[in-house]
């Protein structure tokens, strides 16, 4: 590995990579307060409005599958820049959508671009660090990335007051444009040419087959993916559960959402302190157990109504709080298991994670009405499956 590749990036680069990795979460979270308004604007049902979230997650997943192998073959930088430009252009199209169908379509394209920013920001961070440091750096990156989703629903609620849901996409267009220009000027190439010549495009895609035959890879993807599915069930359901069922205002919704982002930031901060002493496997084991117990608690509260809104908020703090920590350790473990195809490994992990998130969004949308029941059942099942993934990792890990 060359010295330039393993040079530790400065704080400014970590901040920029964090902003790039936040393209997806910000694009979801900023418009969450607008979901009820979108349903009303297009005269469609709650479940129809939620398909804009499902579409975004599917596009994000497909994009990750493409960008990992492409970046392994042609380098991180050109693929990253192309994806961000696609994201900015699709954000403009979303703002001009004339029907729920066109919005669903443009959200899919927007997500294709955001997928490049997310997967390649993490791959660049991994390229620049030794294996012992990568999980810590990815957690630092996740802390930076969490700032955007923390502020996004608060900003989205205010933009909704300012000019309606279309203004949200104006803001996302500006964000994408700034990211594209800054990445062009500041992000270096971290995947050297000597590595690319040994990683032809078809070989990169063939790496998916190897990954999908590995029970440890499946365990890592199930563990991290189901934790993410729990979070996405919460993201999909709470704009309606909080705003319409519990009568929380769209503007105050952002504060409740922000509590869980703080939980993610705290979890990632603890990971930077503990990863060197405990290792990723022990942390995965512990946090998957926390996710399972907290998910079952949320399910119980949603089904029984015990404790009302604040019991749900408290349980979700732990469900969501460990998601970033699990993702960082599961992703790192998988990439170091396949060091010659790290981009492909990050891509397939992200794609499975996002596909499971899209599936949980779809399941939540199938429950009619705005009661917490669908969210609770989906989160409970996902929490149990997350712990099952941990069992696969512990059993087969070498």
Question: What is the spatial distance between Cα 151 and Cα 105, in angstroms, rounded to a whole number?
Answer: 26
For residue 33, the 8-state DSSP code is: G
Question: For position 2, what pLDDT does the model report?
Answer: 41
pLDDT at 201: 63
Proportion of the chain above pLDDT 90, given as a percent: 27
Least confident of 51-65, 224-238, 262-276, 303-317: 262-276
Residue 385: strand, helix, or coil: helix
Domains of the chain: 3-396 (1.20.1250.20)
- Give the model's pLDDT for residue 3: 41
Minimum mean pLDDT range among 55-59, 303-307, 392-396? 392-396
pLDDT at 379 over 90: yes
pLDDT of the residue at 1: 40
Burial of 203 (0-12, 13-18, 19+ CB in 10 A): middle
Q: pLDDT at position 273, please?
A: 79
- Is 5 a residue whose pLDDT tops 60? no
Per residue in 290-301, pLDDT tens?
Answer: 999 999 999 999
Is the model more confident about 348 or about 388?
A: 388
> What does the pLDDT look like over 78-94, one tens digit per residue?
888 999 999 999 999 99
Mean pLDDT of the chain: 82
> What pLDDT, on the 0 to 100 scale, is given for residue 106?
96
pLDDT tens digit sequence for 240-286: 888 888 888 877 887 887 788 788 878 878 877 787 778 788 899 99
d(CA 103, CA 215): 38
Among 12-21, 38-47, 158-167, 317-326, the least confident range? 12-21
Query: 3-class DSSP state for residue 397?
Result: coil
Q: Of 40-44, 138-142, 293-297, give the lowest mean pLDDT range.
A: 138-142
**pLDDT-based confidence at 361, cuts 50/70/90?**
confident
The structure tokens listed for 238 are 């709470």
For range 289-312, the mean pLDDT: 93
Q: Rounded to 5 degrees, what are φ and ψ at 140? A: -60, -40
Confidence of residue 152 (pLDDT cuts 50, 70, 90): confident
Cα–Cα distance list, 11 to 105, 189, 296, 329 (Å): 37, 17, 39, 21
**Rounded Cα distance, 214 and 286, in Å:** 22
What SS3 class is residue 10?
coil
pLDDT grade for 108, boundaries at 50, 70 and 90: very high
Q: Which of 41-45, 68-72, 131-135, 302-306 is the least confident region?
A: 131-135
Q: Is the CB of residue 5 less than 8 Å from the CB of residue 190?
A: yes
Q: Which whole number is the average pLDDT over 120-145?
A: 67
Report pTM: 0.72
Distance CA 248, CA 267 (A): 27
Mean pLDDT of 10-27: 77
Token output for 181: 């220009």
């Amino acid at each position: 590995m060359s010295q330039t590749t393993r040079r530790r990036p400065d704080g400014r680069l970590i901040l920029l990579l964090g902003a790039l990795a936040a393209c997806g979460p910000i694009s979801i979270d900023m418009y969450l307060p607008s979901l009820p308004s979108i349903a009303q604007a297009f005269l469609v049902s709650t479940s129809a409005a939620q398909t804009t979230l499902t579409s975004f997650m599917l596009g994000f997943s497909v994009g990750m599958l493409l960008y990992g192998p492409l970046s392994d073959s042609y380098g991180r930088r050109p693929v990253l820049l192309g994806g961000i430009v696609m994201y900015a252009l699709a954000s403009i199209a979303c703002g001009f959508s004339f029907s729920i169908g066109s919005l669903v379509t443009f959200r899919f394209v927007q997500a294709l671009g955001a997928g490049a920013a997310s997967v390649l920001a993490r791959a660049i961070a991994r390229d620049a660090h030794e294996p012992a440091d990568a999980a810590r750096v990815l957690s630092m990156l996740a802390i930076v990335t969490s700032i955007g989703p923390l502020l996004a629903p608060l900003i989205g609620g205010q933009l909704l007051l300012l000019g309606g849901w279309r203004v949200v996409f104006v803001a996302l267009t500006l964000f994408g444009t700034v990211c594209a220009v800054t990445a062009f000027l500041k992000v270096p190439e971290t995947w050297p040419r000597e590595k690319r010549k040994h990683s032809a495009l078809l070989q990169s895609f063939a790496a998916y087959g190897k990954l999908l035959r590995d029970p440890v890879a499946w365990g890592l993807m199930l563990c991290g993916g189901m934790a993410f599915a729990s979070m996405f069930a919460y993201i999909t359901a709470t704009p309606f559960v909080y705003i319409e069922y519990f009568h929380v205002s769209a503007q105050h919704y952002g504060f409740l959402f922000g509590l869980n982002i703080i939980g993610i930031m705290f979890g990632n901060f603890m990971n930077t302190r503990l990863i060197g002493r405990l290792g990723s496997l022990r942390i995965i084991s512990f946090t998957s157990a926390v996710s399972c117990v907290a998910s079952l608690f949320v399910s119980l509260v949603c089904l029984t109504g015990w404790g009302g809104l604040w019991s749900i908020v408290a349980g979700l703090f732990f469900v969501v709080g460990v998601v970033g920590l699990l993702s960082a350790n599961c992703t790192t473990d998988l990439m170091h298991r396949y060091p010659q195809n790290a981009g492909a490994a990050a891509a397939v992990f992200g794609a499975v994670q996002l596909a499971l998130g899209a599936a949980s969004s779809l399941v939540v949308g199938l429950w009619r009405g705005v009661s917490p029941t669908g969210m609770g059942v989906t989160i409970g099942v996902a929490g149990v499956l997350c712990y099952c993934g941990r069992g696969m990792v512990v059993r087969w890990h070498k």
